């Protein structure tokens, strides 16, 4: 089966490679040369042109950073969505609002394609291990078409319902917790550092007890690095927690803790760290608290 994979970032590239390892013919698309070269080195096809990547594809993964990017890639210049084989399965895995997922899905279905609203959680670690959690909604036909493609990628695929947008709603709620955990983890690490506790020791202690979480275990070590590799940027959580804000306001449901975390990510971005790894929200706490968590004996 010919598979197009749009978005070869920290999660997309290992996912595309796992699909290749499972025997699928993968044509990846991205604007960055590094991931394209890596995919070609692994035996895949690579292009910067979405229509070229989708031409003749029976399945399309969309792993862009935002729903707006997905709209542009699929329906912008070149009308890439029309290049796929009619009846192809489009697996939308970008983090977007439920409304945008429904709109994008309706446009794809109008072209005769199947659509699964299927965002994921698990990070680059889960992508590399094929252990992602997929929160999906769509028709029975879409689930059936996507099943063999998701098998090499996911530990669990949750069927949330038939309505497109339900998957994106659950992902938004997932990002509420993920963003809050990162922000409060940075707060805890900065407080400990200000109190004179060695950061690595503090992290080890927290992760060994009830305060530990997946996010702290994943982001905590990167909070100790001066310049960690970027797997998910600060600005991603400005966007994702903004989606939480939109959802909560639309439902008239208070979400004050999520909004406090959003303000921390906005402040970190305003400080110039928007493109830094999201763990580097800790820099905001270093500056405002006149302490240091990163490196050895260095001031922020």
Query: 219 by DSSP, 3-state: which?
Result: helix
40 is catalytic: no
Of the pLDDT bands very low, low, confident and very high (cuts 50, 70, 90), residue 55 is very high
Conformational region of residue 32, where left means phi above 0, alpha means psi within -120 to 50, and beta covers everything else: beta
Residue 296 has pLDDT above 80, yes or no: no
Residue closest to 89 by CA, chosen among 59, 65, 131: 59
The pLDDT value recorded for residue 171 is 98
Structural domains of the chain, with CATH: 2-162 (3.40.50.720), 169-289 (1.10.1040.10)
The pLDDT value recorded for residue 77 is 86
The pLDDT value recorded for residue 221 is 97
Of the pLDDT bands very low, low, confident and very high (cuts 50, 70, 90), residue 300 is very low
- In this prediction, residues 159-175 reach a mean pLDDT of 98
The pLDDT value recorded for residue 273 is 98
- In this prediction, residues 27-54 reach a mean pLDDT of 96
Residue 174 has pLDDT above 90, yes or no: yes
Of the pLDDT bands very low, low, confident and very high (cuts 50, 70, 90), residue 17 is very high
Q: Which residues pair with 62 in a beta bridge?
A: 6, 92
Residue closest to 30 by CA, chosen among 65, 79, 75: 65
- Catalytic residue, candidates 17, 40, 171, 239: 171
What 8-state DSSP symbol labels residue 273? I
Residue 70 has pLDDT above 50, yes or no: yes
Question: 151: Cβ–Cβ under 8 A, 6 or more apart, which residues?
Answer: 22
DSSP per-residue codes, 189-205: HHHHHHTT--HHHHHHH
The pLDDT value recorded for residue 299 is 41
């Amino acid at each position: 089966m010919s598979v197009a994979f749009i978005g070869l970032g920290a999660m997309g590239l290992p996912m595309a490679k796992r699909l290749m390892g499972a025997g699928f013919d993968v044509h990846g698309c991205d604007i960055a040369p590094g991931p394209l070269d890596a995919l070609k080195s692994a035996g895949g096809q690579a292009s910067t042109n979405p229509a070229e990547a989708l031409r003749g594809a029976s399945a399309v993964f969309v792993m862009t950073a935002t729903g707006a990017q997905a709209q542009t890639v699929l329906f912008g210049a070149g009308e890439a969505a029309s290049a796929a084989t009619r009846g192809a399965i489009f697996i939308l895995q970008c983090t977007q609002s439920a409304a945008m997922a429904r709109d994008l899905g309706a446009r794809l279905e109008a072209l005769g394609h199947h659509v699964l609203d299927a965002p994921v959680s698990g990070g680059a670690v889960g992508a590399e291990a094929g252990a992602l959690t997929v929160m999906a909604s769509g028709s029975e036909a879409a689930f059936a078409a996507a099943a063999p493609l998701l098998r090499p990628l996911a530990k669990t695929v949750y069927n949330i319902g038939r309505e497109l947008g339900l998957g994106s709603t659950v992902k938004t709620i997932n990002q509420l917790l993920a963003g809050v955990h990162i922000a409060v983890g940075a707060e805890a690490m900065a407080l400990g550092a200000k109190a004179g506790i060695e950061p690595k020791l503090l992290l080890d202690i927290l992760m060994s007890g009830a305060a530990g979480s997946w996010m702290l275990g994943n982001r905590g070590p990167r909070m100790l690095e001066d310049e960690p590799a970027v797997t998910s940027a600060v600005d991603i959580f400005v966007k994702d927690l903004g989606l939480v804000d939109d959802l909560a306001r639309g439902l008239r449901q208070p979400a004050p803790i999520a909004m406090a975390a959003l303000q921390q990510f906005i402040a970190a971005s305003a400080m110039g760290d928007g493109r830094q790894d999201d763990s580097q929200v800790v820099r905001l706490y270093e500056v405002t608290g006149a302490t240091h968590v990163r490196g050895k004996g260095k001031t922020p």
